[in-house]
Amino acid sequence: MEEKYYQKLWWDIILTILSFSVIPLVVLGFVMYHQFSVSYSAKIMESIRTLADNRVGAVNLFFDERISQLTTLANTSSLEQLRDEDYLNRVFNIIQARSKSYIDLGVIDHEGNHLAYVGPYYNILKGVNYKNEEWFNAVMASGVYVSDIFMGFRKIPHFIIAVLVREKNKVWILRATINSDIIESIVHAAQTGKGGDAFIINKNNILQTTPRFSGDLLSTPKAPDLSSATGTNVEELGYDGGTSFYATSVVKIKRWVMVIKEDPKEQLTPLLRARFITLLIGAGGVLLIILGAVFTTRAMMKELIRMEEKKAISEDLAMQSSKMAALGKMAAGIAHEINNPLAVIGEKAGWLKDLLAEEDLGSSPNYQEFAETVDKIEQHVSRAKKVTHRLLGFARRMEPVQEKVDINAILHDTIGFLENEARYRNIDIQADFDEKLPQTTSDSSQLQQVFLNILNNAIDAIGKDGEITVKTVHITKIKNLAVEIRDNGPGVPKEMLDKIFDPFFTTKEVGKGTGLGLSISYSIIDKLGGRMMVASEEGKGTTFTIYLPIK
């Protein structure tokens, strides 16, 4: 019952401490981690968005440059000049000196006929008519045309740029084939880290550059379809069981989409480390709080239990002493009421005795009987008197006092109380008193309570058939007197001996002993300035020794 109550209290305190400290800690950890993670992700997204913009800018610039180069060329030379393949060849050489990416250059009239050509495939391409080609129609319609990447005859990725030139009433086209390795290198510059990728797709989701991991040129990329992206955008998208950051930006001239892919695991490593550290610190903090809570609570509970016990002892002492006081009053009342009739009986017997002596009854045959009877009456009156006087003495000792006490007399009285009980159980109480024991100043009633308690315990311990020795010694050296009460009972096991003076410690059956007797005795002797000790050997008996100062 008590145990359960303490256990419940223990849990209550622990849980309160934990909830009031762990919850804020956890909340703090989560909020901080979340804020950090949000701002960190934002930073990463921002950085790849910038990268995508930057790369697209470079691609745009590349196209613009090529287109303006061709436009300039077309407008600074007349068709007549460019039809001349020698002239065209010179021009081509000048352009190529600046940029190796030009593969060939051709001049085509408005009907699709190849008027002039400079490049490695002269024999194949010279006679080709482009009238039905898609790009031919596109350039005729819009003036400038840039093709998607294609492999062509040379099996290297390239594209064409064609510009339409209006010269007087003539319309013709200047067409250049350009190697796409510059675009490749611009895009490759954005392939960062261990798992980062960058590529360009056209509006049909076909790869225009060679990605690192996400598929082959001119195939569909192993990535979500981002071909319909319209502006610069960053998203976290899932593909094939994993998620990645995808930044998209549009190459305006072709509606190509530049895709930059970042592995969040790689980019977020510092964030993951932060999470790990947060968790570690959080776990450490929680552990510390738990330990602290357990230790504090344990200390508190110990103190609480100690105080409860102390309270119980003092309550018991108070109850005990009020009980004893009440008992004393009752005893005194009874003794008084019995003393008066006893006095009458005594006087009557005395009167009879007087009469027997006065009158000459010596000759009466029953004289002897009379005399003996009267003697017996007087003898038993005196016996009864002893009992009532002892009761009165007991009552008198209930008031706490500092008085001269004769320890031997107190022990004698105490043994007197228990003689009957001991006799029934065939226990012999031997008194071995130091006759020269000096008096000391103490409280006889409290001492009697202590002696009574120890002797009672000794009788209970023996049970039946045994011996108790009560010995007093004067120890002149340390101005002490010692009372030794020894029984030949079963003794106390060693491990219990340490606890014998603890409150609520009892070896008696439940309900028989409060476990407070020895504890109270100990505190009484302590208050009186003495010491109480116990020695015991299992199977041989127990000895209590009380030392009292001689004052």
The reply on whether position 328 binds another protein by CB under 8 A is no
In angstroms, give the least distance from the CB of 388 to another protein: 8
CA dist., res. 475 & res. 466, Å (int): 28
Residue nearer to another protein on the CB measure, 325 or 345:
345
Binding test (CB under 8 A) with another protein, winner from 396, 425, 471, 531: 396
The answer to whether 221 and 259 have CB atoms below 8 angstroms apart is yes
Residue nearer to another protein on the CB measure, 120 or 333:
333
In angstroms, give the least distance from the CB of 392 to another protein: 4
The reply on whether position 64 binds another protein by CB under 8 A is no
The reply on whether position 326 binds another protein by CB under 8 A is no
Binding test (CB under 8 A) with another protein, winner from 90, 311, 348, 512: 348
In angstroms, give the least distance from the CB of 450 to another protein: 22
Residue nearer to another protein on the CB measure, 320 or 339:
339
Instruction: Give 328-336 contacts, CB < 8 A, sequence gap 24+.
Output: 328/394, 328/395, 328/396, 328/397, 328/398, 329/395, 329/398, 331/391, 331/392, 331/394, 331/395, 332/391, 332/392, 332/395, 332/396, 334/388, 334/391, 335/388, 335/389, 335/391, 335/392, 335/395, 336/392
Residue nearer to another protein on the CB measure, 274 or 377:
377
- Total binding residues toward another protein, as defined by CB under 8 A: 23
Residue nearer to another protein on the CB measure, 176 or 381:
381
What distance lies between CA 306 and its chain's CA centroid? 27
CA dist., res. 104 & res. 123, Å (int): 13
Binding test (CB under 8 A) with another protein, winner from 143, 350, 490, 549: 350
Beta bridge partners of 475: 480
The amino acid at residue 541 is: G
Residue nearer to another protein on the CB measure, 46 or 347:
347
The reply on whether position 351 binds another protein by CB under 8 A is yes
In angstroms, give the least distance from the CB of 410 to another protein: 16
The amino acid at residue 61 is: L
The reply on whether position 257 binds another protein by CB under 8 A is no
Binding test (CB under 8 A) with another protein, winner from 332, 427, 429, 462: 332
Q: Whose CA is closest to 204, among 168, 160, 150?
A: 150
The reply on whether position 343 binds another protein by CB under 8 A is yes
The answer to whether 207 and 215 have CB atoms below 8 angstroms apart is yes
The reply on whether position 374 binds another protein by CB under 8 A is no
The tokens describing 323, both together, are: 């009980």
Q: Whose CA is closest to 450, among 320, 541, 312?
A: 320
In angstroms, give the least distance from the CB of 342 to another protein: 4
Binding test (CB under 8 A) with another protein, winner from 259, 268, 342, 405: 342
The reply on whether position 300 binds another protein by CB under 8 A is no
Binding test (CB under 8 A) with another protein, winner from 106, 282, 393, 466: 393
Pairing of strands 233-239, 242-251: antiparallel
Binding test (CB under 8 A) with another protein, winner from 392, 497, 533, 534: 392
In angstroms, give the least distance from the CB of 369 to another protein: 22
The reply on whether position 356 binds another protein by CB under 8 A is no
Q: Quick one: CA dihedral 210, 214, 215, 220, positive or negative?
A: negative
Pairing of strands 242-251, 466-475: unpaired
Taking CB under 8 A as the binding criterion, the range among 41-49, 260-268, 386-394, 533-541 that sits at the site for another protein is: 386-394
The reply on whether position 344 binds another protein by CB under 8 A is yes
DSSP string, 40-66: HHHHHHHHHHHHHHHHHHHHHHHHHHH
- Give burial (CB, 10 Å; 0-12/13-18/19+) of 60: middle
Binding test (CB under 8 A) with another protein, winner from 266, 354, 421, 538: 354
Residue nearer to another protein on the CB measure, 239 or 417:
417
Residue nearer to another protein on the CB measure, 284 or 333:
333
The reply on whether position 439 binds another protein by CB under 8 A is no
CA dist., res. 155 & res. 178, Å (int): 13
Taking CB under 8 A as the binding criterion, the range among 293-301, 311-319, 351-359, 516-524 that sits at the site for another protein is: 351-359
| Rg (alpha carbons) of the chain, rounded to whole number | 59
The reply on whether position 336 binds another protein by CB under 8 A is yes
Taking CB under 8 A as the binding criterion, the range among 78-86, 275-283, 337-345, 455-463 that sits at the site for another protein is: 337-345
CA dist., res. 469 & res. 535, Å (int): 14
In angstroms, give the least distance from the CB of 443 to another protein: 15
Helix (H) or strand (E) holding 159: strand 158-167
The answer to whether 171 and 191 have CB atoms below 8 angstroms apart is no
The reply on whether position 371 binds another protein by CB under 8 A is no
In angstroms, give the least distance from the CB of 409 to another protein: 15
Residue nearer to another protein on the CB measure, 388 or 521:
388
The reply on whether position 380 binds another protein by CB under 8 A is no
The tokens describing 285, both together, are: 């903090």
Helical residues (DSSP H) of 359-403, grouped into ranges: 367-396
The reply on whether position 375 binds another protein by CB under 8 A is no
CA dist., res. 491 & res. 535, Å (int): 9
**For 238-277, b where at least 16 C-beta lie within 10 A, e where not — what string?**
eeeeeebbbbbbbbebbebbbbbbbbbeebbeebeebeee
CA dist., res. 74 & res. 64, Å (int): 15
In angstroms, give the least distance from the CB of 419 to another protein: 21
Residues within the interface to another protein (CB under 8 A): 332, 335-336, 339-340, 342-348, 350-351, 354, 358, 381, 385, 388-389, 392-393, 396
